[in-house]
Amino acid sequence: MIKNLLLVGLGGALGSIARYGTALISQKYLSTILPFGTLIANILGSFLIGIFLAYELENPSLNFKLLLIAGFCGGYTTFSTFTFENLSYLQNGQFGLFLLYGIGSILIGLLAVFLGFSLIKII
């Protein structure tokens, strides 16, 4: 149990550092009109989780899954998990759940950001 927590924590720390580095590099070299650091992290994180999941299917390893999938990808971006979950719905022909979860998550996420932002403004 402790080992599992340490693997997720280590992967998460490395993912968070990588995300920060991605943001710094994108701010230096790309336009700041759009949050390209976030976009890059989300897309790259989705790409990486696809690679890691495919590898893990052929080479099952709880340590690998905890360190790189739950840890690194979770620390780098939760969008990678979100896209994987939506892909699973599509692959299983669950289009209704895909629409409900995908669109619902985006709309509720936007609302949550707005509410959190608004709460701080009034405090």
Place of tokens 């995908």: 102
pLDDT surpasses 80 at 89 = yes
Any binding-site annotation on 83? no
Domain count, the chain: 1
Dihedral angle computed from the Cα positions of residues 46, 51, 53 and 55, in that order, rounded to the nearest 10 degrees? -170
Instruction: Judge whether 89 lies within some domain.
Output: no
Any binding-site annotation on 74? yes
Q: State the pLDDT at residue 1.
A: 94
C-alpha angle 96-102-107 in degrees, rounded to nearest 5: 120
* Collapsed DSSP state (helix, strand, coil) of residue 99: helix
What confidence tier does 117 reach under pLDDT thresholds 50, 70, 90? Answer: confident
Domain that holds residue 49: 2-78
Q: State the pLDDT at residue 111.
A: 94
Instruction: Judge whether 93 lies within some domain.
Output: no
Q: State the pLDDT at residue 17.
A: 97
Instruction: Judge whether 99 lies within some domain.
Output: no
Instruction: Judge whether 9 lies within some domain.
Output: yes
**pTM for the structure as a whole:** 0.76
Instruction: Judge whether 113 lies within some domain.
Output: no
- Kindly report, residue by residue over 20-77, the tens digit of the pLDDT: 999 999 999 998 877 888 889 988 998 999 999 889 888 999 999 999 999 999 999 8
Q: State the pLDDT at residue 32.
A: 80
Instruction: Judge whether 28 lies within some domain.
Output: yes
Instruction: Judge whether 27 lies within some domain.
Output: yes
Instruction: Judge whether 92 lies within some domain.
Output: no
